[in-house]
Chains A and B, each alone.
Chain A
Amino acid sequence: MISQPLANDTISAPGMSKARTGRMIVYAIVGLIGLALLFAPFLFPEVRSQEVAARICVFIVLVASYDLLLGYTGIVSFAHTMFFGLGAYGAAIALKTMGRGFDAILLGGAAGVAAALVLAILIGLLSLRVKAIFFAMITLAAASVMLVLASQLSDFTGGEDGMTYQIPRFFSPATKLLTDADGKVLRIFDVALDGKIALYYFVFLTSLALFLVMARIVASPLGTVLEAIRENELRAEAIGYRVVLYRTAIFCIAAVIAALAGIVRAVWLKYTGPEVALSFAIMIDILLMVVIGGMGTLIGAIIGVVIMSLAQFYLKDLMQVAADATSGVPLLPELLNPDRWLLWLGVLFILLVYFFPAGIAGTLLGKGGTK
């Protein structure tokens, strides 16, 4: 009897400080990422890095909105890219048909968001009352139909090739945000403050705003109710929560945010097609990012997206080296081919779900295993 409290003390004391250190690490990493993204145009001026930074911004929103479903509510949906794509296609089609104006982005984006909302309500009310597994299958089927529609209705969507369009003049390199005494565009650290910068900060600030909105949602009473439902659905129902309504609500919120992220993506890329806005490859990316980062932490989205994005570039290089080194061995070079990077990421994913179901952020924050 005497040894028990002692044992507890010795276990809990380092455990506590470990959790604290973990939290510090997570916030430090996220802070660094935030700063890097904030100053990305100045820190990494090359075009390719800009593209990576903008993609990271949009995907943080997309992945975090998926975390609202998967991590916070325990809903497994495969239709998230569908909503993302609806936003992107809405903006893209309007920009293509109405010309390069903010009105086109607003109108097309609004149409895309509205379509996403309506579909989310339909799918939610129709199928969120059934088992998680059923829902996963139904969303998968719905998303596949949307993918097929996008490639078939080529008059509207450009089919498999997608479509390119122009975006508002304000975002073009010719726009001078600030000028120096000579009337030339002002340069800071040798970076021109032109419309391209404006475009990046449009992406960055919109993403930041959406992320903060989600952080607010999670901290609100709604977030608490959702976690209660995830932990024990029957109990939540017994207490009197209308589980289906709450689930549908969060499904709609996530869908709208994904559609908004899609609009931003469409504006940044000046191109929308199945590959960048609708494909299952994106859905798998999202899934990997949210699980690697840490389900149910929101902040894990940031870590997951950055790790995956870096991996997509550097893992390939690493694999090329390994493939060259093993070129004499049968099959192995084929497995190490940079095109097969998803293979290793998939293995990593499986191991992660087994051993660290809380993901990187979740493990560091001491959330432990999910049930």
Chain B
Amino acid sequence: MDTLNATFSRLGGVYLLPVIMGVLAFVLIGSPSTWVTLTVAGLAMGMMIFLMASGLSLVFGLMDVLNFGHSAFVSFGAFIAASVLAALGSWLTGSSVALNMIALIMAICAATAFGAAAGWFFERVIVRPVYRDHLRQILITMGALIVAEQLLLAIWGGAPVSVARPAVLEGSFVFGTIAIEIYRVFAFLLGLLVYVALYLVLNRTRIGLLIRAGVENREMVEALGFRIDRLFIGVFMAGSALAAMGGAMWAGYQGLITPALGGEMLIIVFIVVIIGGLGSIEGSLLGAIMVGLTANYVAFLMPKLALASNMLLMMAVLLWRPYGLKPAIKG
């Protein structure tokens, strides 16, 4: 079994899976232009989901804390971004690319900053008192999710909110018969940027070294002289900020958001971290891309199955690898 696994991982291992999915879909779909559109949509969606999932996964890996309230950051991020964009409406509709982008960046930054601040509050008030107590942790973060969703309703009301998109990101790049939405490319690139940044921080810095070590064995990190609680609040804030950023991007992608958004994304994010394996950003990326691609391919090929597709994907992965495709190594 070990040698079999070794052979598989030499060939690229589980990272081959999205590629295999893409090739399979290409054969099934037939039309190259449709395939490109779907693939780009899947990758963009995957990258946004990655933003939401990576924080949850790292927080779990590092501290064994699963935050059911995580999706609250996503929905608050989405609504804050929508509000900022609405307030800067005139900048968005204008033809000035600079103003367009400034408005968008401000919206994303506002959401992200809120996410970091809310993450700080969450960690201090909600999660810290119930470390190492999974049952109460699930209950309390669930309670926090209820409160957060109610606050969202109190502030923005229950009606759907339409999200203004900057003019510069409207429309598509057209190559012959292939059309690619600009916003999707933007979402993909932003997600990629965040992934690369996370990768570099985790693998090239001392903080990253500490995080990776903490994911494996936090007690030993403490015994080596490091305050893991400080590390953890940092990771928690970063994770919440990324979730809010993902929410902001998602708002622009959807164009119309409702308060139910958080709950829907929570399920998807859970599926992603279960598929990818908890505690590693590589796993989150892999899971997110697979979920994004599956959602788009299946929606085209078998629309009836679209809603259950992610669930089926998760079941299949769990049967094969009960701890996900790329879980962090636990010491």
A321 at the B interface (CB under 8 A): no
Determine if A354 and B140 form an interchain contact, defined as CB atoms under 8 angstroms apart.
Answer: yes
CB distance from B311 to the nearest CB of A (A): 5
Which stretch from A40-48, A141-149, A241-249 is at the chain B interface? A141-149
Number of interface residues of A (CB under 8 A): 44
Among candidates A137, A138, A142, A340, residue contacting B153 with C-beta atoms closer than 8 Å: A340
Determine if A140 and B143 form an interchain contact, defined as CB atoms under 8 angstroms apart.
Answer: no
Among candidates A149, A334, A350, residue contacting B144 with C-beta atoms closer than 8 Å: A350
B154 at the A interface (CB under 8 A): yes
In whole angstroms, how far apart are the Cα atoms of A334 and B146 in the complex? 16
Chain B 279-310, CB-CB to A under 8 Å as 1, else 0, gives: 00000000000000000000000000001101
Chain A 39-62, CB-CB to B under 8 Å as 1, else 0, gives: 000000000000000000000000
In whole angstroms, how far apart are the Cα atoms of A144 and B265 in the complex? 11
Residue with the greatest number of chain B CB neighbours at <10 A, chosen from A142, A346, A370: A346
The interface residues of chain B lying within 8 Å CB-to-CB of A140 are 266-267, 270
The interface residues of chain A lying within 8 Å CB-to-CB of B178 are none
A126 at the B interface (CB under 8 A): yes
Chain B 255-277, CB-CB to A under 8 Å as 1, else 0, gives: 00000000100110011011000
The interface residues of chain B lying within 8 Å CB-to-CB of A334 are 154-155
Within 147-201 of A, Cβ neighbours of B (below 8 Å) are at: 148-149, 152
Determine if A357 and B143 form an interchain contact, defined as CB atoms under 8 angstroms apart.
Answer: no
The interface residues of chain A lying within 8 Å CB-to-CB of B142 are 284, 287
Which stretch from B1-9, B82-90, B314-322 is at the chain A interface? B314-322
In whole angstroms, how far apart are the Cα atoms of A13 and B136 in the complex? 31
CB distance from A151 to the nearest CB of B (A): 9
Chain B 156-180, CB-CB to A under 8 Å as 1, else 0, gives: 0000000000000000000000000
Determine if A343 and B150 form an interchain contact, defined as CB atoms under 8 angstroms apart.
Answer: yes
Given A136-B66, A331-B154, A347-B147, A141 and B139 touching (CB < 8 A)?
Answer: no
Among candidates B140, B151, B310, residue contacting A353 with C-beta atoms closer than 8 Å: B140
CB distance from B64 to the nearest CB of A (A): 8
Within 83-112 of B, Cβ neighbours of A (below 8 Å) are at: none
The interface residues of chain B lying within 8 Å CB-to-CB of A142 are 311
Determine if B319 and A126 form an interchain contact, defined as CB atoms under 8 angstroms apart.
Answer: yes
Determine if B322 and A137 form an interchain contact, defined as CB atoms under 8 angstroms apart.
Answer: no
The interface residues of chain A lying within 8 Å CB-to-CB of B66 are 133, 136-137
B124 at the A interface (CB under 8 A): no
Among candidates A149, A343, A354, A371, residue contacting B147 with C-beta atoms closer than 8 Å: A343
Determine if A149 and B307 form an interchain contact, defined as CB atoms under 8 angstroms apart.
Answer: yes
Chain A 316-343, CB-CB to B under 8 Å as 1, else 0, gives: 0000000000000001001101011011
CB distance from A177 to the nearest CB of B (A): 43
CB distance from B125 to the nearest CB of A (A): 9
The interface residues of chain B lying within 8 Å CB-to-CB of A145 are 307-308, 311
Residue with the greatest number of chain B CB neighbours at <10 A, chosen from A141, A149, A284, A335: A141
List the B residue with the shortest CB-CB distance to A145. Answer: B311
B227 at the A interface (CB under 8 A): no
The interface residues of chain B lying within 8 Å CB-to-CB of A76 are 134-135, 138-139
Among candidates B126, B134, B311, residue contacting A141 with C-beta atoms closer than 8 Å: B311
Residue with the greatest number of chain A CB neighbours at <10 A, chosen from B140, B144, B150, B323: B150
Determine if B151 and A343 form an interchain contact, defined as CB atoms under 8 angstroms apart.
Answer: yes
In whole angstroms, how far apart are the Cα atoms of A371 and B131 in the complex? 11
The interface residues of chain A lying within 8 Å CB-to-CB of B126 are 350
Among candidates A70, A127, A144, residue contacting B318 with C-beta atoms closer than 8 Å: A127
List the A residue with the shortest CB-CB distance to B66. Answer: A133
Chain A 60-92, CB-CB to B under 8 Å as 1, else 0, gives: 000000000010001010000000000000000
How many interface residues does chain B have, given as a range?
Answer: 35 or more
B253 at the A interface (CB under 8 A): no
The interface residues of chain B lying within 8 Å CB-to-CB of A148 are 307-308
A291 at the B interface (CB under 8 A): yes
The interface residues of chain A lying within 8 Å CB-to-CB of B60 are 133
The interface residues of chain A lying within 8 Å CB-to-CB of B311 are 141-142, 144-145
Determine if B143 and A350 form an interchain contact, defined as CB atoms under 8 angstroms apart.
Answer: yes
A313 at the B interface (CB under 8 A): no
The interface residues of chain A lying within 8 Å CB-to-CB of B150 are 340, 342-343, 346
In whole angstroms, how far apart are the Cα atoms of A108 and B153 in the complex? 38
CB distance from A327 to the nearest CB of B (A): 15
The interface residues of chain B lying within 8 Å CB-to-CB of A357 are 136
In whole angstroms, how far apart are the Cα atoms of A334 and B154 in the complex? 6
Determine if A137 and B307 form an interchain contact, defined as CB atoms under 8 angstroms apart.
Answer: no
Determine if B267 and A291 form an interchain contact, defined as CB atoms under 8 angstroms apart.
Answer: no
The interface residues of chain A lying within 8 Å CB-to-CB of B68 are 136
The interface residues of chain B lying within 8 Å CB-to-CB of A345 are 146
Determine if B307 and A152 form an interchain contact, defined as CB atoms under 8 angstroms apart.
Answer: yes
Determine if B271 and A141 form an interchain contact, defined as CB atoms under 8 angstroms apart.
Answer: yes
List the B residue with the shortest CB-CB distance to A123. Answer: B315
CB distance from A40 to the nearest CB of B (A): 30
The interface residues of chain A lying within 8 Å CB-to-CB of B155 are 331, 334
The interface residues of chain B lying within 8 Å CB-to-CB of A211 are none
Determine if A130 and B129 form an interchain contact, defined as CB atoms under 8 angstroms apart.
Answer: no
Determine if B267 and A141 form an interchain contact, defined as CB atoms under 8 angstroms apart.
Answer: yes
In whole angstroms, how far apart are the Cα atoms of A149 and B311 in the complex? 12
List the A residue with the shortest CB-CB distance to B150. Answer: A343
In whole angstroms, how far apart are the Cα atoms of A345 and B4 in the complex? 53
In whole angstroms, how far apart are the Cα atoms of A287 and B310 in the complex? 26
A270 at the B interface (CB under 8 A): no
The interface residues of chain B lying within 8 Å CB-to-CB of A27 are none
CB distance from B66 to the nearest CB of A (A): 4
In whole angstroms, how far apart are the Cα atoms of A43 and B269 in the complex? 49
A271 at the B interface (CB under 8 A): no
The interface residues of chain B lying within 8 Å CB-to-CB of A137 are 66, 270, 273-274
A98 at the B interface (CB under 8 A): no
The interface residues of chain A lying within 8 Å CB-to-CB of B146 are 284, 342-343, 345-346, 349
Identify 11 new A-B residue pairs, CB closer than 8 A, beyond the known A137-B270, A149-B308, A346-B144. A76-B134, A76-B135, A133-B66, A136-B138, A141-B270, A141-B314, A335-B151, A335-B154, A345-B146, A349-B146, A350-B126
Q: Which residues of A contact B (CB under 8 A)?
A: 70, 74, 76, 126-127, 129-134, 136-138, 140-142, 144-145, 148-149, 152, 280, 284, 287, 291, 331, 334-335, 337, 339-340, 342-343, 345-347, 349-350, 353-354, 357, 370-371
5 A-B pairs with least C-beta separation = A343-B150, A346-B146, A346-B147, A350-B143, A349-B143
